[in-house]
Structure formats: structure tokens, C-alpha cells
Structure 1
Amino acid sequence: MTGSNQNILSYPIEYLKGVGPQRADLLKKELNIFTFSDLLHHFPYRHIDRTKIFRIVDLNPSIEFAQVQGVLVNFEVIGEKSARRLIANLKDDSGTMELTWFQGISWVQKMLRQGQQYLVFGRMGFFMGKPQMVHPELEVVQAGTAQTKNYLEPVYPTTEKLKARGLGGRPMAKLVQALLPLLSEKDIPENLPDSILHRGQFVSRYAAYQQAHFPSSTEAYEKAVRRLKFEEFFIAQIRLAIVRAKRHRYSKGVVFDKVGDLFNTFYHKHLPFQLTGAQKRVLKEIRSDTLNGHQMNRLLQGDVGSGKTIVALLSMLLAIDNGFQACMMAPTEILAQQHFNSISSLLKDMPIGVHLLTGSTKNGERKYILQCLAEGSLSLIIGTHALIEEVVQFKNLGLAVIDEQHRFGVAQRASLWKKAAVPPHVLVMTATPIPRTLAMTAYGDLDYSIMDELPPGRQPITTVHRYDTYRVSVLEFIKDEIEKGRQAYIIFPLIEESVKLDYESLMQGYEHVKAFFPEPRYWISMVHGRQNPEVKETNMQRFVKGDTQIMVSTTVIEVGVNVPNASVMLIENAEKFGLSQLHQLRGRVGRGAEKSYCILLTSSKLSNEARERIKTMVSTNNGFEIAEKDLELRGPGDIEGTRQSGTLNLRLADLVKDKLILDAAKKWAEQIAEEDPELDAAENLRLKHYLGSLQGKTVWSKIS
């Protein structure tokens, strides 16, 4: 065995009694269980109450597992060969139930005695209205005693391959049962400060693990799980809070100490509309962040159409007024081109040159841009990943704006702010609303701003649900809108597993649309992923310029097409789309002053979840409400996929159901980080030691 001072939890799983090399290999491959610690953290997903004995008369289909005590009235083997089964009847003072075995018949038969009292336990079923158990567990009960298994029995997640090798839910419980007695309190030391244990009235960490697996009562289980959920949230929050507290105190940042001519001229003379209250609030936050000598690291969430681009532009003008360069990076050429077009148009009467740098920028122009950036004669550049290539050098980059930032990896973002001696201020923007619970968990190291108002003149989009039997009247409605001079999108789903089928239904759909909207009266653009980029771009541009009235497309238009004249979004097979995708698609209309509509067309057979999604879309335009509902329906999934930086490792806690625990964990973590960011106070030392022991296990790379 390895060195005596090694914590037993780090022992390889093959050392545990009952495992051995072959089972260990399976546990590693199937469940990522490599060590004793991994097994300790493999929690049961539920418990079966073995403390209760049911009377047969009280059994009903809502009871999944039951324990019953009674007398064996009779038993017999019936049927031949593969249809052979052993059937027994068990009777208590309230009724009779049937017990059935299809396997191990001769072995079970030897155990059975007519007239004997038994305690039976198993999964309940009903046959012809009569209670039945198949392959129950049996125990002889001595006459005159009531015998219960006095505990809650854990049921562990497992896989088909593990079950096939004798590691189903029960044997998994036996492994945990073998592990727990080997552990003492020193193997699971306390990691939270006493003040928090006292305030939260938490059980000890050691007791929490024991009771989470094999609880002595329902109440003990609930206390244990509450403690462990709090710990998961608190550890995540304290790490983020310390990063943030240190950044607020120690990070160096360039100072934008004046609001200069460019900002003022644009604000007073060229702003196309009055700023909303939300836009003004965010600009104040950015102004304050860039003034205090620390690096700004702000996440700007704004629903589709809330006016993030204007905020980004005013922030970039602030940087340029203070003698710095500014850049804006977008994940795709379409989006970068769109930002370039709209910002160039906004600045057309201003003395600022704007350039675009993408993979397809011609060599001569590329050379010129690189030279101007290095010399400092170019103050504002918009681009794609091309901006982070080694050859791109800035003279004095002061602000980096990153759009749809979840599409970039942490390393890609970091390479952008390594391009300045003092890291530039960073404004990351997303039009994908992030639920508040998710933002404070996955993005807790960022300051974040929310823009929840639409600019004046924008009308809310009317969303309706129609079954596909109403397709003709829906298409007639689109005709009416086109007669008014408007344009329409018709979107078909594209799902990876059935690309061929979906492609066929897109083509079929296109033919139907063409038949309903014949040329030359109507013109249609079609865009999908199989087209080469030039064809796709040409077809998109025809729609943007108004040469075609209808765009038939897959979801490639989800981000980055801005056609203020489009007033209808028809989504075919809307039940196949997720909530956030439906919301993003809806955001392609409603960009002009005219009334806009989103029509969700579905088949009449909808799953409950699909019905819930459609209902949510029809009832609200608020992206944040939609994001919360999406989180509730789908669960957080790969919650930090949006961050691409490590994982949250939530094994027990649930962001939706455990909001109150998360709020408390966040509040207490922020308080400690604010008062003692180095965790040097005596009562925080064990927390500091614990965080140190986690170093390298989870990547919590901060944004900058």
C-alpha cells in the first residue's frame, strides 16, 4: 500500500474490497471512478424507505417499492421450459398478494415453507388489479415479531455494462458500505469556517457524507444533503469572489480619465435615437470601471435588439478620446461584417477610420492594417479570430470588446489582452440571456450588466402558435405582409442526427413555398449549411437588399442577419427547437418600426416539454424569463460550456431547485472575500488549506 501519510481517499479504487482490477477498469470507463474519493462522491440518486411495512390492502400503483410481512399460503411451479415460473401467495390480515420468480426457481423453492412468516421486499406491480412482486427479496420472520429493515436503502446510478458485470445499484451500495467504515473524521476534515457552520446550523462534513449515503432517517438525509449542496456552491463562489476581490484591489488597468470630443460630438450630434435608461446605466458602470485604475472585466447581457452595439461604440470612443486603440471581436465573418457596416454607418460623419480584419481580408489591405495598428495611426478595428493572430500588434490597446463571447475559448480571449503591456479593459457581450442563477455561478468572477429595455420605437413582437393544419392561412397572412412591402423568414429545423432527412424536408418545404409564392410576383432566397459560402452570402445579400421577399433557411440565420424590413418569422416544426434557439430566431424580426410577428408551426402531437416551450414563447418576449424557463426545463447541462473553462462539478446541488442555498452561499462567500481576500485570518485557514488542495483539480481560469 502507498505511504502511510497518504489520505485513504486518494487510494486507487482497485484496492477496495470487492473491486479488483477488472471491476476497477469498468468503474473507471463507465463512471469515472478512479479512487476511493470518486466512489465517496458517487451519490445515490434516491433512497428506498425500508423502515415501513405496508398492509397489502394499502398497496397501490403509485408505490414503486414496498416491504410487506405475511404468511406464505401456498406456492407452485407452473409452465414448461422458458415459460416456467414459480408462483407463491403471501397473506396478511388485510389481503393476499402474488410473488413470482422466473429465474433461480429450484434455489428459491428450497427456501420456501408453507405457513412460514416472511418479510418480502421488491418493486410493486399489478396484474389484473392484483398486487404482485417479481423476484422479491425474502427473509424469514420469527413467529410473533415484526421485523423491519430499519434504514433508507440507497439506489446508485449505474450503467448497462456495469449491471452485466454484477455492478448494478445494489452491489454499488455494497462497495460504498465497504468504504465508509474505513474512513475516519481526519479523512474528511472540516473545510468551512466555524462561523459559517454555526450560522447555517450545518452538520459536520464527515457526518454529511455518511448520512448522504446511508441515512438513519429522512431528516438526517435532508440535513446531510443540505450541508453538501451548500459546500458545492460555497466553494465555487468563494473561488470566484476571491478572483474578483483581488482584481478590484490589485489588477492594473489603464485610466480613461476624460470624456473627450469624439464621445461628446457623437453623443450630441450623431446618435440615431435617445438612449434607454438601461443603456445610460451601463455606460455609467463602464465609465466608473475605466476610471479607477483597475482592469475592467464586465459582461454585458442584452436581449436581441436592446442596443448593445451603441454601448460598445460609445465605450470605444471613450478609449480613443483617451489616446488608446479599441477593437471589437466577433465569432463569425457575417457578424464581424455586420458590426463593421453598422459602426461605419454610425461614424460616417466622424473623423475616425474604421477597418475590418477577417480571414478573407486581401493581402495588400491586411499589410496596411497591420502597419497602422502597430504605428498607432488606426484607432478602431473590427474583426474575427484574425485579431488574435501573432502578427497583429497594437501600439496601445486600451479596450477589447468581444461579442457573443461564449463562442470563444478562454485561451483565445486571453491572447487578445496579452497584446498590451497593461491589460486592456474588457467588455464581453452576449445576446443569449443567461439566467441570473447561472450568471452568478459560471460568471461570478465578472462584473455584469443587464440591458432589459428595448430602444424607443421598437414594438414588441406578437408570437402565436398554430398547428400545421393551419399552414394555408399562415401563408396567406405572409402574403398580406408582403403586399404591405414587408419581408418574411421561413425557418426549417436542421438536427445533426438526421441531416439527410432534414435537408430533404427543407428542399420539400422550399418547393411548397415556391408553389405558393410563384415567380415573378415573388422572389425567394434559400440559405442552408450545404451551400458554398459565396452562394450563401449572395442569397443573404439579396434578402438584405430587398431583392427577395422571402428567406427560406435553416438556423444559419440565428445570429447576424439584420433586416429591419422583415416583419414575419415563421418557424416550421417549432417543437424541434430549444427555447433559447426559438428566442434567438424570433429576434431576427422586430428590428424596424413596423409591427412584427413570430409564428410557431407545430404538429398536433406535442410532448409535454415541447408544449411548455411553445407556451413560454407565446407568453413572453423577455429573454431572461425565457432563459430561466430553459434552465428549469433542460437543467444546467454543461453549465460552463458557455465558459469553456473547467467545470462546476455540481454533483448534488441543482441551480434551479436550490436557489436559496446558492444565494446564501454567494452572500457569505462575498463577505469573506471582501474582508479577507488572502484567507489569512485564523478562522479561514482551513478553508485556505482546502482550496489549496483543490489547485489543479478544477480549472477556474479567470477571464483575464
Structure 2
Amino acid sequence: MGFHPYICGKEFTISSRGTHILASPIEYLKGVGPQRAELLQKELGIFTFKDLLEHYPYRHIDKTKVSLIREIGPQTDFIQIAGRITSMGIMGEKRSKRLVAEIKDASGVVELTWFQGITWIEKMLFVGQSYQVFGKVSFFQGLPQLTHPEIEPLAEENATARNFLEPVYSTTEKLKARGLGGRQIAKLTQALFLHLREKDLPENLPDYVLQQLQLMPRYRAITNIHFPPSMEAWTQAMNRLKFEEFFIAQLRMNLVKSRRHRYSKGVIFGQVGDIFNTFYEKYLPFELTGAQKRVIKEIRKDTGSGRQMNRLLQGDVGSGKTIVALLIMLLAADNGYQSCLMAPTEILARQHFAGLTKLLKDLPVTIRILTGTTKAKERREILKQLEDGTIQLLVGTHAVIEDTVQFKNLGMAIVDEQHRFGVAQRAKLWGKATIPPHVLVMTATPIPRTLAMTAYGDLDYSVMDELPPNRKPILTVHRYETARSQVMGFIKAEIALGRQAYIVFPLIEESEKLDYENLMKGYENVKAYFPEPKYWMSMVHGRQPTDVRETNMQRFKDNDTQILVATTVIEVGVDVPNASVMVIENAEKFGLSQLHQLRGRVGRGAEKSFCILLTSTKLNNDARERLKTMCETTDGFKVAEKDLELRGPGDIEGTRQSGALNFKLANILQDRQWLEAAREVAEKIADNDPDLSAPENARLLEYLQSLKGKTAWSKIS
């Protein structure tokens, strides 16, 4: 394959077979040793032979083809040519010193340039001799050249290409300095393959799956992903391994879901009682949407089944998740159970508490709030009432999961904005009852379907894709900094109509101090447009003491101030129906989901609302794309799809903790058809053979058992 492979050292004996060979520490591979092993571990996370095997090349260089020099064009990336060196000499001095050679074939001439190792290369090359050259094309003063190309002598009669596809592996500067560049990693990988047999990489997919989808066997796929005989073989290997990554993740989640459905005992909400009915008939502020009714029906079915519910409820900003949560908590109360609603911030928890208290009016339901700032005396009282069952609904922040908080009979746990809580934090809630409570996880950040079924495949999920009829679409526009005075004039016009406005500044700097200075400067600039006493402003940011922040927020809610200048602390949950304008300063510095969340702070009343994205005139393509998306749609699911497309799944907030997206090859956007196929097969297996006891699924069972303990998988999303 064009490499001179290393042979394994004495420390490693070939007799260790199967998983043992792959578990061998990387230092035992000849050519590595303790020092290089330490670097490979630190730089690339390669600890074992298996890790090296799974350090896949990110592309292959096609060395099966020799091109003509005249074929080089602006789009040419790498090229392989064969020709005769016609001239060679050193040019420039000191830093600009370089060796320049001209190589000629039947179609033209191109320059080869070296800045390093000049003396050695000059001794190696001869004018008049033929060479085969491979390198990356660059352009200098409009003319193509190959800088630091690979070059080797070529006999006239043998002017053909070497017959293989060369893998290109990612590496780092530190590794290159220790002689572990991409090509050296390729040599180490090839050395490892000399000691692998088919039984060392046993098949893990059932034969019927391989046949149904016409997939390449596993050993061949792993060989061909590194050293393929052709691009077609490489494509088949990629498809096989992408499917495998998706399938194993989907199968594990579906088996968890299947076992939970069979074995996890849950409390039963068997009746719809007086509290629920009275609220529904007398106090419900508006007619429920079709989506809300559908979700309540799904939850009622779950909570009446005798199994523990684990459901993800996702709905766009303003789709009415809170009213659904309240109805479910009233259902729990009717059946003699307590409920708990956990929110990520004190502002959001207090807002939920205020909203729920207002909705409950004089219904016989005791609701309390517990946060980090609850005074000691009140806290003692709340803890006592939770234990004796007096409190039916508890709203709170992280304070709710502290060990001192004990319930009499917790039956429903609702987690709002779930991406802000880690799995371990959520798990503490489930431990607060003998029979684990039903769990409803809510998010206002719509999750694209592909992401939801990958990251949350072990949860049943409901989608609320309908806005209440009284919500008017928000008009979103993009304006440059140069139009600031017109934007401020527009806010004045809205205030004259009795409305209010938000002006939000980003948190972007590494330094909290700089952030604070930027905000204060922005505040003063806004103030210049809105002088007191004609206009009143309040400011909210993370460095303020909680009571100051709450007071400023409350003043805005009560319409004592017409403008709220804030950082992203208002991103979720702030509800001021009278606010009709959202101005986002430096909008190019926000992510799409954050922009969408901020926009959702307006449009909560009966009036037409506006979101103005204010930016500098210098924008990169990604920022332009984000702003364009915001102006074109208010549909959170479309926004989320675009966000996924622009940022990739690994960066989407909250998905990392699931462990489901650490794919080495598969991409949930580009490989959607393999994801769908994997999900379909996994669901069928989990339904028909949930214990994997059928003979045809034996190798699957064995493979999953071999993975146990290597990934933190949890029943709690």
C-alpha cells in the first residue's frame, strides 16, 4: 500500500487474541513507545489499539491517477503529476530563501517550491530526471505552484501512478514535532492491521440485517475505511459503519424504553376529579389548542397505565406548555399525589409560581415556592408541609433536589427547560418517592426530529406545534447600526401607544468586567435617546443582587418603566404581555436558538409585536444566514433545523450530555436515511425480542454486553 510497515515489538505477543489484542496499550505497538504513547493519549485520546483503529482517516488522496499539468485550475485541491525537472535553483535570502524547481510534462510547466529542508532536497533532485510529484496546489501571483510536494524518481517507461488511495489522518503540531504526522499514523495503523485477523473484529450485526440492507461485513468495512482498494469500497465501508453507529445507539435506547414500559412500576392517576374539572370548566383562561388536548390525552394514557411515564414535551415559545403542566399537576392532586415543577433560574421559578397562583385563584390547592433565597423560617415550614402532604404543588429551582427536601407522596415531577439540568440532578428527583414519580421534561427550544430521535430516543415524546389562536405572528427585521436613530424613533412611537420594549445586549467577552462595561455603555447610549422623566428605564443583568434584579423586573412588569435593558438573563420565561418590541443589539453574536428564545419574549399580548435585529455592517456568511432565517420564519422547528444545519449536532445546547451523539463517522443531518433505517430496524428488534434471546440476535447481545460500563447510559434521557 505504499508504506513500509512497522512490525510489532517484543512486548506484544500475537497469542493474545479477540478483544485482548484491541485492548492492548498503544505503547506496545512498535514505533510508539512510552513517550509517543503519552502524546497520543493527550493529543488524540488514543490509549489502546482499538482507539487507533477507530481514529479514522478524514479523507483519502487518490494516488491512482496521474493528471496533466494543464488540468490544474482554480478548483484543483491536490494533484499528482509526472514529468521532467527542467531547472532548479535557490532564490531569495534569509526568511524568503527557497528552492524552486520547474517540472514539465507534455502539456505544460509548473513550479515546485520548498522553504524547508532545502539542502537535503537539492541533493536528492537532478535536472533532466523524471519524477512523480504529489502535492497541494496553491497560487502565487496568479500562477499555480506545488509547495513542499511529495516527490520520487520515476523511470521513463514506468510513468504511471502508484496504485492506492492514501489515507489522511488528523494530527496535531505537537505530534508532528515528535514524528507523528498523518503519514506516520497511517504507517502505525497499517502495522496494526498486519496483526489483526477477522476474528479480532467479529461481526456484531445479525445476518438478516446485513442481507436486508446489503451491508459490508464488519472486518472488511473497518479495513476498507482505512485502506480501500477503490472509492466504491470506501463508500460501502462508510455506509456500513455509519449504519452500525446509528443502530447501536438506537437499539440501546429502544431497549431501555421497552424495559421501562414492561417493568417500571408507576403510580396510577385513575380518576379525573373535582379539582381538575372545576379548573377546566371555570378557570381555564382560553380554549385549549388541538395540540394541547392531544398532549394531555397522551399524558393521561401514560399516567393511567401503571407504568412510570418518561415523556419529553417540546413546544415552541408561547405554545402553552405551562397550562398543560398545571392540568397534569391538578390530575395528580385529584389522585392524592404531590407534584413538583423545577425551573433552571429563580426568575423563571418565581414567574411560574406567580402565574400558577393566579390561575388557581380560590381552588383548594396549596402551592408553595422553594428557591435558594427562601428564608430559613419559611423554608422549615415548607419542608414540614411537604412531608405531611399539606403542599400539593411545589415550584422551585435546584433547591428542590437537596436531600433535606422530602415529599409525602411525590407523583409527578416536571422539569422545565431540561437542557439546563444534568442527568444526575434530575435523577435526584426520581429518588424522592418509593415508586418513582411520573416525569415530564419540557423544553421551549424545539428540537429537530432527527436530533430528538437520536438524543432522546429513550423518552416518549410529544410535540406542541400549534400556537394559541390569540397569538399574532411577530414581525422580525434586520437593521444595521447605521439605522439606530430610526430604530429608537420606532420604540418611541410604540411607547406613545402605551407599549413597552426590551433592549438586549449579548454576553460575549471572556471577561465579566468587560461584559459589564459593554452593558453599562449600552445603557447610557439608550438613555441618551430616552431622557427622564418622559421615559423610565430599568436594567437587569447577572451581576445584580437577586432582590435588585427582581425589583427592576417587577417595575417593568408593572409598566413603571417602559424600557428594559438586559442581558440574556431574560432569555426564558419572562412574560410581559404589554411589551411589543424586542431589540437585540449585536444580533450577529447570538446563536439562532437564543435569538428565537429572545424573540419569544414579545408577541404575548393582543397587539402586533416586532423583533429588531441590530448588527454591525461587517457580517460573516454564517451570521447572515442566521439573520435571514430569523426574518423569514417564526416557526421554532424550522429555526432549530437551520441551527442544526449551521452548527452541527455536537454544539446544540444540551445534547452532549445524552452520550448519543458521539458518533465518529455518522452525521445526523447528512446521513438521515441511515438514521431512519437504523431506527426502524432497532424498533422492530426491541418490540419483537426485547431481551435479545432469539438465536439470530445472539451476537448483538454479546456485543452490547461487551460495551457495558463503557458508556454512561441512563434511563433518564
In the superposition, the TM-score normalised over structure 2's length comes to: 0.96
Partner of 1:315: 328
| 1:67 correspondence with 2:80 | yes
- Once the two structures are superposed, the pairs formed by residues 586-625 of structure 1 within 5 Å of their partners are 586-625=599-638
On the 8 A contact 1:406/1:643 being kept in 2, the answer is: no
Partner of 2:484: 471
Partner of 2:394: 381
| Structure 2 CA distance for aligned equivalents of residues 15 and 616 of structure 1 | 52
SS in 2 for 1:381: strand
Partner of 1:459: 472
| Structure 1 CA distance for aligned equivalents of residues 87 and 269 of structure 2 | 90
Letter of the 1:433 counterpart: P
Candidates 254, 258, 279, aligned match of 1:245: 258
Moved more, 196-205 or 104-113: 104-113
| Structure 2 CA distance for aligned equivalents of residues 131 and 380 of structure 1 | 72
Deviations 1:505-564 (A, max 9, x none): 322221121111110010000112222222222111111111000001111111231111
Q: 1:80 to 1:408 in 2, by over 3 A?
A: closer
Letter of the 1:605 counterpart: K
Letter of the 1:53 counterpart: V
| Structure 1 CA distance for aligned equivalents of residues 702 and 656 of structure 2 | 26
Letter of the 1:41 counterpart: E
| Structure 2 CA distance for aligned equivalents of residues 175 and 64 of structure 1 | 26
Question: CA offset at residue 391 of structure 1?
Answer: 2.0
Q: 1:594 to 1:93 in 2, by over 3 A?
A: same
Moved more, 247-256 or 361-370: 361-370
On the 8 A contact 1:442/1:640 being kept in 2, the answer is: no
Candidates 88, 92, 96, aligned match of 2:109: 96
SS in 2 for 1:86: strand
Partner of 1:490: 503
SS in 1 for 2:683: helix
| Structure 2 CA distance for aligned equivalents of residues 273 and 673 of structure 1 | 41
| Structure 2 CA distance for aligned equivalents of residues 578 and 408 of structure 1 | 20
Moved more, 289-298 or 112-121: 112-121
| Structure 1 CA distance for aligned equivalents of residues 281 and 594 of structure 2 | 37
| 1:571 correspondence with 2:576 | no
Candidates 12, 16, 30, aligned match of 1:4: 16
| 1:369 correspondence with 2:415 | no
Q: 1:79 to 1:565 in 2, by over 3 A?
A: closer
Candidates 516, 525, 530, aligned match of 1:512: 525
SS in 2 for 1:100: strand
Deviations 1:159-178 (A, max 9, x none): 12112222122212121121
SS in 2 for 1:72: strand
Q: 1:589 to 1:640 in 2, by over 3 A?
A: closer
Letter of the 2:426 counterpart: R
On the 8 A contact 1:410/1:643 being kept in 2, the answer is: no
| Structure 1 CA distance for aligned equivalents of residues 87 and 264 of structure 2 | 80
| 1:649 correspondence with 2:662 | yes
- Once the two structures are superposed, the pairs formed by residues 266-345 of structure 1 within 5 Å of their partners are 266-345=279-358
| 1:683 correspondence with 2:696 | yes
Partner of 2:272: 259
| Structure 1 CA distance for aligned equivalents of residues 582 and 653 of structure 2 | 31
SS in 2 for 1:182: coil
- Once the two structures are superposed, the pairs formed by residues 501-580 of structure 1 within 5 Å of their partners are 501-580=514-593
| 1:127 correspondence with 2:112 | no
Moved more, 144-153 or 190-199: 144-153
Deviations 1:157-209 (A, max 9, x none): 11121122221222121211211221111111000111111111110111111
Moved more, 219-228 or 69-78: 69-78
Moved more, 151-160 or 290-299: 151-160
Partner of 1:447: 460
Question: CA offset at residue 365 of structure 1?
Answer: 2.3
Q: 1:640 to 1:219 in 2, by over 3 A?
A: farther
Question: CA offset at residue 456 of structure 1?
Answer: 1.7
| Structure 1 CA distance for aligned equivalents of residues 131 and 560 of structure 2 | 82
Candidates 176, 190, 199, aligned match of 1:177: 190
Letter of the 2:515 counterpart: D
| Structure 2 CA distance for aligned equivalents of residues 242 and 339 of structure 1 | 35
Question: CA offset at residue 353 of structure 1?
Answer: 1.6
Partner of 2:71: 58
- Once the two structures are superposed, the pairs formed by residues 398-477 of structure 1 within 5 Å of their partners are 398-477=411-490
Moved more, 177-186 or 470-479: 177-186
Partner of 1:29: 42
| Structure 1 CA distance for aligned equivalents of residues 714 and 509 of structure 2 | 31
| Structure 2 CA distance for aligned equivalents of residues 397 and 82 of structure 1 | 73
Candidates 700, 705, 714, aligned match of 1:692: 705
Moved more, 430-439 or 121-130: 121-130
Partner of 1:165: 178
On the 8 A contact 1:152/1:214 being kept in 2, the answer is: yes
SS in 2 for 1:637: helix
Q: 1:640 to 1:149 in 2, by over 3 A?
A: farther
On the 8 A contact 1:639/1:647 being kept in 2, the answer is: no
SS in 1 for 2:199: coil
Q: 1:79 to 1:512 in 2, by over 3 A?
A: closer
Candidates 100, 107, 118, aligned match of 1:87: 100
| Structure 1 CA distance for aligned equivalents of residues 91 and 562 of structure 2 | 73
Letter of the 1:184 counterpart: R
On the 8 A contact 1:492/1:553 being kept in 2, the answer is: yes
Question: CA offset at residue 348 of structure 1?
Answer: 0.8
Partner of 1:210: 223
Question: CA offset at residue 504 of structure 1?
Answer: 2.5
| 1:348 correspondence with 2:361 | yes
| Structure 2 CA distance for aligned equivalents of residues 312 and 80 of structure 1 | 75
| Structure 2 CA distance for aligned equivalents of residues 697 and 327 of structure 1 | 33
Partner of 1:673: 686
| Structure 2 CA distance for aligned equivalents of residues 129 and 105 of structure 1 | 24
Question: CA offset at residue 102 of structure 1?
Answer: 2.6
Question: CA offset at residue 123 of structure 1?
Answer: 1.3
Q: 1:413 to 1:73 in 2, by over 3 A?
A: same
| Structure 2 CA distance for aligned equivalents of residues 192 and 157 of structure 1 | 29
Question: CA offset at residue 147 of structure 1?
Answer: 2.0
Moved more, 562-571 or 318-327: 318-327
Moved more, 107-116 or 331-340: 107-116
Moved more, 556-565 or 375-384: 375-384
Letter of the 1:236 counterpart: A
Partner of 2:90: 77
On the 8 A contact 2:655/2:661 being kept in 1, the answer is: no
Partner of 2:408: 395
Question: CA offset at residue 79 of structure 1?
Answer: 4.2
Q: How many equivalent pairs are there?
A: 704
Q: 1:680 to 1:642 in 2, by over 3 A?
A: same
| Structure 2 CA distance for aligned equivalents of residues 512 and 98 of structure 1 | 57
| Structure 1 CA distance for aligned equivalents of residues 185 and 420 of structure 2 | 39
Letter of the 1:219 counterpart: E
Question: CA offset at residue 636 of structure 1?
Answer: 1.1
Deviations 1:567-606 (A, max 9, x none): 0000011001000110111011111111100000111111
Question: CA offset at residue 92 of structure 1?
Answer: 0.9
| Structure 1 CA distance for aligned equivalents of residues 292 and 470 of structure 2 | 15
| Structure 1 CA distance for aligned equivalents of residues 512 and 433 of structure 2 | 44
Q: 1:502 to 1:427 in 2, by over 3 A?
A: same
On the 8 A contact 1:409/1:643 being kept in 2, the answer is: no
Letter of the 1:459 counterpart: K
Moved more, 129-138 or 150-159: 129-138
On the 8 A contact 1:679/1:687 being kept in 2, the answer is: yes
SS in 1 for 2:490: helix
